[in-house]
Structure 1
Amino acid sequence: MRQFAAAVCLLSLTACTRSIPSTTHAASPAQPVAADRLKREVRVTGTVQAVHSSKILIPQIYGNYSSMTLTHLIANGTSVKEGDLIATFDATNMMDTARDAKGRYDDFGHQVDQKRAQNRADAEHRASDLKQAQADLATALQELRKGPVLSEIDRLKNEQRAAIARVHVESLTKANAFHDTADAAALKVLELQKERQKVAMERAQTNIDKLTLKAPLSGMVAQENIFRSNSMGHAQEGDQLYRGQPLVSIFDPTEMQVVCSVGEPDVAALVPGVKATVHLDAYPDLSLPAHFEYASPVASSGWGSPIKSFTAVFHIDKGDPHLLPDLSAAIVIEPATPPTGAPQ
């Protein structure tokens, strides 16, 4: 009986007991990735340029001078100040032209002075002749008043003398006006010829001054490649050079920048104040800090190419003696880190 009662109690307890279902816990959220691991670098290539630079050209001179001989050229890489001598050209022909023009100018100056004095003398002589003719006319008119007391023949003679004197005065008056105009015209021609020689003299002197090239700003000299002796290279003393060609460039090495092309997918990285690192291809171990300056507002593409890009300028924040214009460089743009919680 006791065993039966124990079995019934055990069955009761088993029926009243509820099985507890197993609980599956949700996975813990992933830890946020470090911001520097999410940073995306943009790499572009460009060319180093100077912020302040100036090209010095072979001078453009007046006259029939197709080529000029270089007599002096400053060495490549020389540091200069504003106003320092850069190059000189042979000025022998220009000096001969200036000397000849000055001689002709002085000669025409003497001719003008001589012509002016001659005109004054001629004018005074004509004025004296006119006064004499006017005096003869006055005398003839005075003789006409004696007509009543003179014979008929003398009266007719006096009338004839008066008529001749009147015509002579009128002729001299007209002739003097024509002579004055002709003398003034001849003097003007000589004065114009004198002024023409003055212009030629000043032009020759201007050509001589242009043959001496000076630095327009302080900086470093970089010689340009020009066509010489059927090849491209730096100019040398004694070369025959043609006007209008670039001779040297002067740039300020303390302020340099990199001009590069940025593709449309990467233009979002160009925000004000973004930092970048410049690596020179010629000096792989050299890294320079830079910051974004500005970019073109509109993308452009090459002829027949569907790929468009923006032109961007990065200012190099640190100077270095290795920085020279036209060096190729790679720029690593580091976009600004987005704030915590912002969508990546």
Structure 2
Amino acid sequence: MSLGRTPKSKMPLIAAAVVIPAAIFIFAKTTGAAGPAVPTAEVKTGDFVEYLQVRGEIRARRSKIINAPSGSGDLQLVKLVPTGTMVKKDDIVAQFDPTNLQRTLEQKRSELRQAEAEIERQRAEGRMSEAQAGTDAESAKYGVQRATLDTRKAEILSDIDGQKTKLTLESSQQKLLETQEKVKSGKVSTSANVELRKKKKEKAEYDVALADRQIASLTLRSPSDGMVTALPNFRASMFGSNPPDFKEGDRAWPGAAVAEIPDLSEIRFEARIDEADRGRLKSGQPATVRVDAVPDKEFGAKIRDISTLAKLDFTGWPPAKNFSIDVQIANTDARVRPGMSANSRIEINRVPGSILVPNEAVFSKAGRTVVYVQNGRKFEERQVTIGRRNSSEAQVLSGLKAGEKVATKDPTELEEKK
């Protein structure tokens, strides 16, 4: 065996060791010509939908408002259930300080006791006067009887004595009439005085009952099962700022709306729109709503109402005019609560049969609008005409056809970075 020759059995192994690295090198060179991986998207045909996006918050369609009592004087909140608390019907939601009314109640109760005592005193005085008048009447009656007997003796008396007995009888009869009249008038006077005291007592009873009702009205209870939402305290707001919600320690005015118990079975989205957008919207337009606190769900909706009159918005300066919009949400979610911030996307225009590409696939080059169409492993620049855009898509009027693939990142920039 010669030392300089390679055995035939090892020849295939040597060939493989030479060919495989060469093939890998050639493949890497050819694929590398296309540059780094470029993300793409398919050109599609569909409805181009133009949207208006507005920011607002969730409201309940129906709510039961809990108001501060009217006619109860100074009102200071000493208890208020926090927003978001679930309550049952007749649970206490808010309480106002009853100190002043309790003092008033004690005063009125004292006046009632005094009126009752005056009635008893007047009745006692009447009974005493009536008893005295009765005694006087009996005495006068006895005098009449005695004078009558004396007149019967006139035939055996002198003329002068007979005249005296007659005068005495007349005097006794007059006194009897006077005492009887005094008894009657005494009863009438006593009855009138008692009735007067009774009126005073009735007024005192009314004042006590009123104070009791006013104290009871300082405790506000839930009219139904639901979730408490504290309402804004407009008197506590600074000019140009949003008013804070009512809280414990705040003072309220009579009849102030302190809290509400919303009906969670039907919710809505409420926002304000500019004058420029008012003419683009109408009732019944479809929309979607996304609630910040429920990011995993999008709610179907439609416009229910748009205010006909503009209102001044003092949150900025100068105040802007805008309109309120009410969007009805089709299906609710147990996680959605009134007061939550949300966005609504309202459909304002739809063009069927449009050529659509993602916004990120459209580029501006030297004043021209272009896309990069994939052709094998390469991308060719192509000028296009864009119609409208929304937040995610662009409508292509010319330059592309459905099914083609376009780059969503500029391949020329990626090639330069290579």
Q: What TM-score do the two structures reach when normalised by structure 1?
A: 0.68
Residue 318 of structure 1: aligned partner: 332
Q: What fraction of aligned residue pairs are identical, expressed as a percent?
A: 21
Matched with 1:209 is 216
Distance 1:228 1:302, change over 3 A: closer
1:212-233 Cα offsets, whole Å, 9 max, x none, are 1211122111112213497842
Residues 181 and 230 (structure 1 numbering): CA distance in 2 closer, same or farther, change over 3 Å? farther
Q: Aligned AA for 1:167?
A: Q
Aligned position for 1:248: 259
2:375 alignment partner in structure 1: none
CA shift, 1:201, in A, is 1.4
1:19-38 C-alpha deviation (Å, 9 max, x unpaired):
xxxxxxxxxxxxxxx9x85x
Q: Of residues 255, 268, 278 in structure 2, which corresponds to 1:257?
A: 268
Compute the displacement of 1:87 (Å): 1.7
Q: Please, which of 134, 143, 151 is the counterpart of residue 141 of structure 2?
A: 134
CA contact (8 A) 2:270 2:324 kept: no
Deviations 1:191-246 (A, max 9, x none): 22222221221122112112212111221111122134978423333334433332
Q: Does 1:96 align with 2:103?
A: yes
Whether contact under 8 Å (1:218, 1:252) holds in the other structure is no
In structure 2, the CA distance between the partners of 1:74 and 1:265, relative to structure 1 (3 Å rule), is closer
The structure 1 residue matched to 2:60, chosen from 45, 50, 67, is 50
Deviations 1:59-87 (A, max 9, x none): 2244xx3343x222211211111111112
User: Aligned partner of 1:98: which letter?
Assistant: L
User: Counterpart in 1 of 2:247?
Assistant: 236
Q: Does 1:59 align with 2:69?
A: yes
Q: 1:52 to 1:133 in 2, by over 3 A?
A: same
Q: Give the one of 172, 180, 184 matched to 2:191.
A: 184
Residues 280, 147 of structure 1: alpha-carbon distance in 2 compared, 3 angstrom cutoff:
same
Q: Which residue of 2 aligns with 1:150?
A: 157
Specify whether residues 283 and 141 from structure 1 end up closer, same or farther in structure 2 by C-alpha distance, changes over 3 A only. same
Q: Could you say which structure has the higher strand fraction?
A: 2
How many angstroms apart in 2 are the aligned matches of 1:203 and 1:213?
17
Q: Which runs of 5+ in 1 are unaligned?
A: 1-33, 304-308, 336-344
RMSD after superposition: 4.0
Contact 1:276 1:334 (8 Å CA) reproduced: no
Q: Is the 8 A contact 1:264 1:310 kept in 2?
A: no
Q: How many residues align?
A: 291
Residues 65 and 259 in structure 2, CA contact (< 8 A), matched pair in contact too: yes
1:112 aligned to which of 84, 94, 119? 119
Q: Is the 8 A contact 1:289 1:318 kept in 2?
A: no
- 1:82 aligned onto 2:89: yes
TM-score by length of structure 2 reads 0.57
Contact kept in structure 1, 2:281 and 2:348, CA below 8 Å: no
C-alpha contact (below 8 Å) 2:232/2:244 kept by paired residues = yes
Provide the rounded CA distance (Å) in 1 between the counterparts of 2:70 and 2:192: 37
> In 2, are the aligned partners of 1:291 and 1:314 still within 8 Å (CA)?
yes
- For residue 198 of structure 2, what is the amino acid of its counterpart? E
8 Å contact kept, 2:66–2:260: yes
